[in-house]
Amino acid sequence: MVGQLFARLADGKLGKDIQANLPRLFADCSARLLPNDESLYTQPRAFEHAIARVAAPDLALTFVRGAGGFSIEAVIPGQPGNWKHVESGSSDPNWAATDAFLSENWERIKAAARG
């Protein structure tokens, strides 16, 4: 129970960090933060592990932050289970670089997600 609370708090913080630090994702790509599926809270997870999901009309992203680092995966909406790894970094991401990377490579990320 307590672990689920910490997971929800960590996920909420990551979602707020994404909204605050990746403005082009929301402004240029019409993305929106999605609520996490309840299945993410059924199993215990590491205290520092956080997950946030963002969807744009043409691409969905999952952001994961933990002790092992920060990563982004992408999928074309309607093609579940076909997630493609996009980027990795330290657990304390360089938000400005991530914002620029996503903005400058949006079409390439979509092409990679299509397979």
Helix 2-21 × helix 95-114 angle, to 10°: 100
Q: Are 51 and 41 in contact (CB under 8 A)?
A: no
Neighbours of 91 (CB within 10 A): 15
Query: What is the rounded end-to-end Cα distance, in angstroms, of the chain?
Result: 39
**Tokens 């990551």 label which residue?**
14
DSSP state letter for 83 = -
Q: What is the pLDDT along the chain (115 residues), one digit of tens a residue?
A: 556 888 888 999 999 999 999 999 999 999 999 998 888 878 877 777 899 999 999 999 999 998 888 999 999 988 866 788 888 887 788 999 999 999 999 999 999 888 7
pTM recorded for the entire structure: 0.89
